[in-house]
Structure 1
Amino acid sequence: MQNNNMNEFYWQERWKKGLTGWDIGYPSPPITEYADQIFDKSKKILIPGVGNGYEACYLKEAGFKNVHVVDIASEPLAHIKKRCPDFKDSHLIHDDFFNLNDKYDLILEQTFFCALDPDQRKDYRDKMYELLVPGGKLAGVWFTFPLTEKGPPFGGDSEEYIKLFSEKFDVKVATPCYNSIKPRLGNEFFMILQRPAH
């Protein structure tokens, strides 16, 4: 399951060299708009491949009490701690996402799926299912520019995403993003996927 795009050295080097083209410098509007509709601030939330964690800090500032993040590189986690000093160290997880074995009510997808080798997409789906409590949700943004060999980021097709996830999840929302940042307009697809309650 490991490949050159998922190892710690690869991502740590990208951070050190500033090769972080996915980093827009602030929380992604589709994620913040979704978060603003969640009233239960006690939900246990995970953001995998969190990067600089703008969305994580946004959630903390919005009153969410149980936000966890994971990244295979340590550099971005240090950035989060610097910007959000009250972030619990135990909630800043330095590890491979696929090593996690906790349970979450909600997992937010933001430029993590696209960083994985496309061969790992079924592994991603299965791991998300495993990490969510029954009735839990995976929500966020998937890129819909054409999938090529050149990546990360790796693109994909919205119909393929729906087919992939509907094998395990109830697809609650699947729609092109109307509130993407300008450079990504037309290339983002928002989904809310729910693990069946039974």
Structure 2
Amino acid sequence: MATAVDDVAGAGQQQVLDGSNPVVARLRQLIAGQESTAGWSRCWEEGVTPWDLGQPTPAVVRLVQSGTLPAGDATTVLVPGCGAGYDVVALSSPGRFVVGLDVCETAINKAKQWSAAAAADDDGSRFFGFVAADFFAWEPPEPYHLIFDYTFFCALHPSLRPAWARRMDDLLRPDGELITLMYLVEGQETGPPFNTTVLDYEEVLNPLGLVITCIEDNEVAVEPRKGMEKIARWKRMVKWNCHI
């Protein structure tokens, strides 16, 4: 007999990511007491992936369409915690090479399999790649012009947030930009996702010189997450207000 978890496991579309969702409750069971790689791998193997929309995040599509993202022959982008890699492919273009990074080989294998068709559509050209590695230990050959973070920060235990910020600082070029699509969940006794506020980001990024250059509500968030997401853009410079 199907359970509530069975009914929605693997169907991330239109799911709220908090403890009221039975799939999130199952996610927390799988992650609790597990070494991080093993726990996340079990989630993918069981199809317990409530964050996975099965398509690019609408906010990513809007960012690409806005024309405000860096692009050029040597522009590189990193998407840590990329999962199945939909956003990686959406961000890629002849002017942007995008790397999707995830600690879970199962997720990376899924990303490689479905994205092979996308690469074939570009006459064999590839403007993206995937790497299975630990974000906190992986060392790329060069820092990135742009890093995009969504449901990665809030998936990490709060004790890891200072280390997350240091890695972002290390992986970003001095003139690079960090974009965080923040899922601002509150009232959770545990996680993931863990309770998150804009201040939580600022407390770990500001001391490293990364400040918000603009922040807006995510108007194209999927329905259950509307009003709970903001998009912030960060650079090593003085704050100002802008529109995405």
After TM superposition, the score normalised by the length of structure 2 is 0.72
Show the counterpart of 1:31. 60
Please state whether the residue corresponding to 1:125 is helix, strand or coil. helix
Query: Would the alpha carbon gap of residues 28 and 184 (structure 1) be closer, same or farther in structure 2, given more than 3 Å must change?
Result: same
Query: How much does 1:187 deviate?
Result: 0.8
Deviations 1:124-143 (A, max 9, x none): 11110011010111103111
Partner of 2:106: 75
Q: Does 1:162 align with 2:202?
A: yes
SS of the aligned residue for 2:50 comes to coil
2:48, 2:88 → 1: CA distance?
A: 21
1:136 aligns to 2:168 (yes or no)? no
Letter in 1 for 2:109: A
SS class of match (1:167): helix
Name the structure 1 match of 2:220. Answer: 179
TM-aligned CA distance change 1:22 to 1:5, over 3 Å: farther
Q: What's the secondary structure of 1:22's corresponding residue? A: coil
2:83 — aligned with what? 51
Q: Distance in 1 between matches of 2:175 and 2:99?
A: 19
Could you tell me which of 147, 151, 155 is aligned with 2:191? 151
Corresponding residue for residue 40 of structure 1? 71
CA contact (8 A) 1:176 1:186 kept: yes
CA 1:34 to 1:109, structure 2 compared with 1: closer, same or farther past 3 Å? same
Deviation at 1:4, TM superposition (A): 5.1
Conserved? CA contact 2:185–2:193, under 8 Å: no
**Residue 39 of structure 1: how far off its partner (Å):** 5.5
> Is 2:234 the counterpart of 1:193?
yes
1:157 shift after superposition: 1.3
- Contiguous gaps of at least 5 residues in structure 2: 1-31, 120-124, 238-244
1:69-115 per-position Cα deviation (integer Å, ceiling 9, x unaligned): 11111111111111111386x93111100112231111001111111
Which moves more between the two structures, 28-37 or 99-108?
Answer: 28-37
C-alpha distance in structure 2 between counterparts of 1:4 and 1:56, whole Å: 30
Contact 1:46 1:104 in 2 (8 A): yes
Sequence identity of aligned pairs in percent? 26
Name the counterpart of 2:133. Answer: 95
Q: Kindly tell me: are residues 147 and 128 of structure 1, through their superposed partners in 2, closer, same or farther at Cα, counting changes over 3 Å? A: farther
- Judged with a 3 Å threshold, the aligned counterparts in structure 2 of structure 1 residues 65 and 173 are, in CA distance, closer, same or farther, namely closer
Greater gyration radius: 2
- Aligned mates of 2:70, 2:167 — CA distance in 1: 26
What SS does structure 2 have at the residue aligned with 1:100?
coil
The normalised TM-score by structure 1 is 0.87
Distance 2:35 2:82 in 1: 14
Provide the rounded CA distance (Å) in 2 between the counterparts of 1:6 and 1:189. 30
Tell me: CA distance 1:171–1:48, structure 2 relative to 1, closer, same or farther (3 Å): same
> RMSD value over aligned CA atoms?
2.3
5+ residue gaps, structure 1, are none
Q: Distance in 1 between the 2:37 and 2:44 partners?
A: 11
- Amino acid of the residue matched to residue 74 of structure 1? E
Tell me if structure 2 keeps the 8 A contact 1:147–1:156: no
